[in-house]
Structure 1
Amino acid sequence: MPRPRFRPSLLLGLLATLVPALASAQKVVVWGNDSANQLHVPSTLDRPVQVSSSYANTVALQADGKIVVWGPNGFGQGAVPEPWIARKVGSGYLHNVAILVDGTVRAWGSDVDGRNGVPPNLTGVIDIAAGAEHTLALKGDGTVVAWGDDSRGQCTPPAGLSNVTSVAAGYSVSLALKSDGTVVNWGSFPQGGSTVPAGLSGVVRVAAGRYHNLALKADGTIVGWGSNGYGESSAPTGLSAVRIAAGDSFSMAVRKDGTVAVWGNNGSGECDVPVGLTGVLDVAAGSAHCVAIVAAAHCVLDQKEIYEGASATGTVKLASPAGPDGAVVALSSDDPSVTVPDSVRVPAGATSATFPVFSKMVLGGDRTVTIQTETGETTVPFKLKVKTNTVAAAFDRSTVVGGSTTRLVFSLTLAEAVRADSVFTLAANGEELLPDSTITIPAGAKSGKAFVITNPTPVTVEKRILVRYRGLASTTAGITLTPLKASVRFENPSVMSGEAASGLVYLTTPVRQAQTVALTSSDAALTVPASVTVKAGATYATFPISTTPVSARTTVRVTSTVNGNPYSGSISLLPTAVLKTLTLPASVYGNGKIVGTVRLTVAAPVGGTTVTLVSGGPWLKVPATVTVPVGQYAATFDAFSSDVVVETSVVVTATAGGVSASSGTTVKPLSVSALTLSASMVAGGGTVTGTVTLNTPVAFDTDVTLTSADPLVGVPATVTIPAGSKTATFTVSTSSTVSAKNVKITASKHGSSVYRTLKVIP
């Protein structure tokens, strides 16, 4: 138990040293005030397992049960009276105590106030604590016995106190830790403030200083109360401890990693923990000096946390220099994914040696791995936090058209670079994605990539790639695949029905493989092939269109179907001007002309509509074609009949736009309707004029046969009716006659005849 600092002179206080004393064979490190040889650890100290410090003395318990004391000896406290074998020791102000292996207690040093007055027949003691001038003993039954100075009630435990698991003694205050984690105190500080904080629970250790107390909770936090003039009752923020000790006006704690924290008064360098001090198992606090038990061997790492797949460097540290042959220290790791050498050799005379620490990437979650020396003695395990080397997967885009030529980039990124080549396997959850089978992240790198191609999909769908490492799922990433779409386009938005055209199927993106696109038409007047193929790497293909005439403007939808999805385009079929009717007069006379009429279903388009004409015989001649002018519905044509002998029927056929129509007419033979003479009587040798008239005008020059019944009267064999007329004249000549004579003149045409009689007189 610390006591108010003994300051024989100011000079001694100023001579306090901060230099740690580390003898060649010792396992104790001390620092702080050395004015009374507090830092002079006996060279004979061997394998200390417990220490306790007070004003200027330190008492140590060795593994063999022997007791070693150093510091002042003015009251005999610095020398053990007998070679007792103990199991725990305590140090007070000018006196020390020990629990022997038989459960009895021994005390030595100053006996002022009866501090050495161990009660008779006290046995079964399991814990002990020495205060400034009083002592506490905890019996195995959980009760506490106290003796020495009771001026502040420090030797009067509360009535009924039981279930105590450990005790601590300060200047004039006593503490008891109960099995339920609560703390009981009795006695008091001169300045007050000794009462245990309300609600304090979960305590696993207690420590008493001069005028302040400490409680270590199960969660590693420290609660202090009492004097706080130097901050001794206020543990550093974030401190997590496994051991505590309280001095005059400073406090100590051992962290889980075996390092030491000291806070409060630093007048003698108490807070200046030796640089590099690690492997501390326990600490004790004197009035103004510090004591730490260091493990015979322990290890530390240059990093407290690493990612899977990374490495670290460890150092084995010995409490004492290695012997002439060096020292071989065994090592262990409690996690097979983190490996260390079976052992490391510390060179002769050295106190440390390094070793490699390797971690394998198993993606097994964050975990804490214990790495420690294996010497058969107590050590401080090093807790290495191994963080899962998280794997992030991502595509280089969020969407893609299935079946397109786009080659996706699939990337893996680790939180930390790997030490060795790491192979990840890839598998898609559907045939729409075709990834490379693996991604290798090379040693020293954090990322790698693979390529992914796609197959068509009929619907928008999200597909994912599952990433595995050593057969275990590690991460996944998804991408949205959209259907391949198409559009149908035409060379022109409209086409004249009956004519050919062409169309195009356009895809939204170039395709990785040849894509067959089905085609259909909504109207039989327009036909398309059953399918068209878009070549690999292309975006479109053309297809032919054939049409048949329609009578009215018709909108036709051409539908392309890609992977079950229809996409349409429309084209207009313009009506074709086809023949509606052909009309002819009912009859015509030979060598005549009639006018026929062709009529279309619709007005002729630009350029007009040509109608072909065919006559059913030579008796009626028609032109090969007739053209209906643009915008017109009909056109006429001239037909000419031949000079038939008998009445003949003729059929004419007209065709336009693939549609034909026929009409017939009758060609009738011409006949002579009249024959006249300019005189009915003429003197022989004289002439008269005859006129022949046909029944209808003729379109062509037409001959009429003439005859005379007597040579006395001469007529031409024929007379020609000129085109466009139905009459013609001729001259009748006569010869001299001796007697009057009547001569018959006849005009005939195709079985018709007319005569007149001319009287020739002498």
Structure 2
Amino acid sequence: MTISTTLCRRMTGVRTFFTFKSSTASKPPTTKTVTNKPPLLWKPNDSSSSNDAVSLQLLSWGRGSSGQLGSGNELTRLYPTPVFSLLVPPSFRLSPSPGSLSSPSPEKSTMEVGISCGLFHSAALIDGQFWVWGKGDGGRLGLGHENTVFVPTLNPHLGSVKSLALGGLHSVGLTSLGQVFSWGYGGFGALGHTVFTRELVPRLVEGSWTEKIKHITTSGTHTAAVTESGEVYTWGREEGDGRLGLGPGRGPDQTGGLSVPSKVKALPVPVAAVACGGFFTMALTEDGKLWNWGANSNYELGTGDKVGGWQPKLISSLEDVRLVQIACGGYHSLALTEDGKVLSWGHGGHGQLGHSSIQNQKVPTMIEALADECVVSIACGGSASAAVTETGKLYMWGNSKDSQLGVPGLPEINPSPVEVNLLMEDDGLGPHNVLSVAVGASHAMCLISRSSCTE
């Protein structure tokens, strides 16, 4: 496939498999390879289906002091290490990534798999059920308690889940029926219920919308949802920066928080996907145009100036470009074009823009270091960024203070994309391809496929 003249395969579509590559990194010097297979978390009920199943693995790295790596301990991991494995049907799909345009659903239903990172907690979505682990205070794991959980644990309180979005002290889930549930600490209205309450198990968000919700996203303290017709509703923290997009007289109802989901009426066009940054919000239309609003003191909105506010603005410099995914960090943004190029803008102090410097970027600018790659998905943490290519390679850049870039020996500020080479054990499963990535504040995870499978 010629990168410059063909469109990248969308990662949310029905799985088609690549030519597998071997990791270019060599194994650490040892006299004998010790096999330590990760536990098998899921496999088809039908034994005949297991024969042609595809093997997937979840890997995690970075800071583990709150159990967010799922490794059973509090150790920091310098490079990606397997957490668990799955056996899935060849027709599996990746659940829609936050901020991405979804591919058309297949005529025949198939299972979906997805991953998500929050501030200090993590989750994996597998065929409508989800496993959670990490810091539990505030009830952010939704397990009915506030204890820290060090290994992936099935949440029995919500099923038929279509997508997950993990925030700071809270989490949000979207079901196949188009209903939104939230749980955790409700400070500043982040749950869409009442302000400053704790929900230890998922609770339905009762917004004023009259149709199904098709897309959700959240940040540390504010949340957005998109209806099937493209209306956007927001709720959560608002400190006068306009991140909720609600305008004069539609601000906080209690001490800086709006707990009632409210429609962003100022958007003049239907929206397909949304992404929440630290203090701003972005919206992507079906035809790939970008609108955003909120804080802009670090050029987060990409308008070329520092003028922010609640009024949604179209990013004029991207009017001739079709975007297929957007992602937000604390103070920076990424966008993926339909031909596989990555743009970045906003705060660059930790190298999170990928432009080989720590300078802020006023307008969306292509990351030259990835120009020869065809990128199919992107992700942001607080001050780190990631990209997955069509050939299954993973690149990361930005803040590496907690080893969240997955490459040992990097400086704390790493302003250029580096390929993350997975040091796989000799477990008999063969080479790997990275399918998706999720980045938290100080840790990251990726989902990989393997060229063969065994139970």
Pairwise same-fold verdict (TM > 0.5)? yes
**Cα distance in 2 for residues equivalent to 1:249 and 1:216:** 18
SS in 2 for 1:243: strand
User: In structure 2, what is the equivalent of residue 155 of structure 1?
Assistant: 244
- Per-residue deviation, 1:23: 2.1
Can you give the 5+ residue segments of structure 2 that lack an aligned partner in the other structure? 1-35, 42-56, 73-82, 89-111, 145-156, 193-204, 246-263, 304-314, 355-366, 408-419, 425-431
Q: Name the CA shift for 1:120/1:230 in 2 (closer, same or farther; >3 Å).
A: closer
Normalising to structure 1: TM-score of the pair?
0.35
- Per-residue deviation, 1:194: 2.5
- Per-residue deviation, 1:147: 0.7
- Per-residue deviation, 1:54: 1.8
Larger CA deviation: 68-77 vs 152-161: 152-161
Partner residue of 1:133 out of 221, 243, 246: 221
SS in 1 for 2:215: strand
Q: Name the CA shift for 1:22/1:263 in 2 (closer, same or farther; >3 Å).
A: farther
User: Is 1:57 the equivalent of 2:121?
Assistant: yes
SS in 2 for 1:75: helix
Contact 1:45 1:68 in 2 (8 A): no
**Cα distance in 2 for residues equivalent to 1:87 and 1:99:** 5
In structure 2, what residue type is equivalent to 1:38?
Q
Alignment of 1:605-620 (within 5 A): none
Contact 2:38 2:85 in 1 (8 A): no
User: In structure 2, what is the equivalent of residue 211 of structure 1?
Assistant: 331
- Per-residue deviation, 1:274: 4.5
In structure 2, what residue type is equivalent to 1:207?
A
User: Is 1:36 the equivalent of 2:66?
Assistant: yes
User: In structure 2, what is the equivalent of residue 291 of structure 1?
Assistant: 445
- Per-residue deviation, 1:276: 4.9
Larger CA deviation: 149-158 vs 111-120: 149-158
SS in 2 for 1:199: helix
Q: Name the CA shift for 1:53/1:190 in 2 (closer, same or farther; >3 Å).
A: farther
How many pairs are equivalent? 280
- Per-residue deviation, 1:79: 3.0
User: In structure 1, what is the equivalent of residue 44 of structure 2?
Assistant: none
In structure 2, what residue type is equivalent to 1:160?
L
User: In structure 1, what is the equivalent of residue 132 of structure 2?
Assistant: 69
Contact 1:67 1:80 in 2 (8 A): no
Q: Name the CA shift for 1:58/1:162 in 2 (closer, same or farther; >3 Å).
A: farther
Larger CA deviation: 52-61 vs 211-220: 52-61
Alignment of 1:606-645 (within 5 A): none
**Cα distance in 1 for residues equivalent to 2:159 and 2:85:** 15
- Per-residue deviation, 1:294: 1.7
Taking only aligned residues, the RMSD between alpha carbons, in angstroms, comes to: 2.3
- Per-residue deviation, 1:120: 3.0
**Cα distance in 1 for residues equivalent to 2:140 and 2:129:** 16
User: In structure 1, what is the equivalent of residue 171 of structure 2?
Assistant: 96
**Cα distance in 1 for residues equivalent to 2:342 and 2:385:** 11
**Cα distance in 1 for residues equivalent to 2:141 and 2:85:** 14
- Per-residue deviation, 1:80: 4.1
User: In structure 2, what is the equivalent of residue 282 of structure 1?
Assistant: 436
**Cα distance in 1 for residues equivalent to 2:37 and 2:218:** 27
User: In structure 1, what is the equivalent of residue 15 of structure 2?
Assistant: none
User: In structure 1, what is the equivalent of residue 230 of structure 2?
Assistant: 142
- Per-residue deviation, 1:161: 3.9
User: In structure 2, what is the equivalent of residue 23 of structure 1?
Assistant: 38
Alignment of 1:322-341 (within 5 A): 322-323=454-455
- Per-residue deviation, 1:28: 0.9
**Cα distance in 2 for residues equivalent to 1:276 and 1:103:** 40
Give deviations 1:273-294, integer Å, cap 9, x for gaps. 3525732221111002111112
Contact 2:39 2:84 in 1 (8 A): no
Q: Higher strand fraction: Structure 1 or Structure 2? A: 1
Q: Name the CA shift for 1:190/1:135 in 2 (closer, same or farther; >3 Å).
A: same
Contact 2:39 2:85 in 1 (8 A): no
User: Is 1:106 the equivalent of 2:181?
Assistant: yes
Q: Name the CA shift for 1:182/1:210 in 2 (closer, same or farther; >3 Å).
A: same
Give deviations 1:83-113, integer Å, cap 9, x for gaps. 3321111111111001112101000011001
- Per-residue deviation, 1:231: 2.0
**Cα distance in 1 for residues equivalent to 2:323 and 2:331:** 20
Contact 1:97 1:105 in 2 (8 A): yes
In structure 2, what residue type is equivalent to 1:86?
V
- Per-residue deviation, 1:193: 3.6
**Cα distance in 2 for residues equivalent to 1:150 and 1:195:** 21
Alignment of 1:75-474 (within 5 A): 75-80=138-143, 82-117=157-192, 118-122=205-209, 123-151=211-239, 152-156=241-245, 157=264, 159-196=266-303, 198-200=316-318, 201-234=321-354, 235=367, 236-238=369-371, 239-271=373-405, 272=407, 273-276=420-423, 278-295=432-449, 297=450, 316-318=451-453, 322-323=454-455
Contact 1:173 1:185 in 2 (8 A): yes
Q: Name the CA shift for 1:79/1:213 in 2 (closer, same or farther; >3 Å).
A: same
Can you give the 5+ residue segments of structure 1 that lack an aligned partner in the other structure? 1-20, 298-315, 324-762
Give deviations 1:421-476, integer Å, cap 9, x for gaps. xxxxxxxxxxxxxxxxxxxxxxxxxxxxxxxxxxxxxxxxxxxxxxxxxxxxxxxx
**Cα distance in 2 for residues equivalent to 1:134 and 1:256:** 32
Give deviations 1:471-527, integer Å, cap 9, x for gaps. xxxxxxxxxxxxxxxxxxxxxxxxxxxxxxxxxxxxxxxxxxxxxxxxxxxxxxxxx
Contact 2:231 2:270 in 1 (8 A): yes
Contact 1:243 1:253 in 2 (8 A): yes
Contact 2:342 2:370 in 1 (8 A): no
- Per-residue deviation, 1:223: 0.5
Contact 1:176 1:183 in 2 (8 A): yes
In structure 2, what residue type is equivalent to 1:195?
G
- Per-residue deviation, 1:187: 1.2
**Cα distance in 1 for residues equivalent to 2:350 and 2:126:** 34
Q: State which structure, 1 or 2, has the greater radius of gyration over its C-alpha atoms.
A: 1
In structure 2, what residue type is equivalent to 1:112?
G
In structure 2, what residue type is equivalent to 1:139?
T
Give deviations 1:541-561, integer Å, cap 9, x for gaps. xxxxxxxxxxxxxxxxxxxxx
Identity of aligned residues (%): 29
**Cα distance in 2 for residues equivalent to 1:252 and 1:136:** 22
Contact 1:68 1:80 in 2 (8 A): no
**Cα distance in 2 for residues equivalent to 1:44 and 1:83:** 21
**Cα distance in 2 for residues equivalent to 1:251 and 1:76:** 27
Contact 1:158 1:186 in 2 (8 A): no
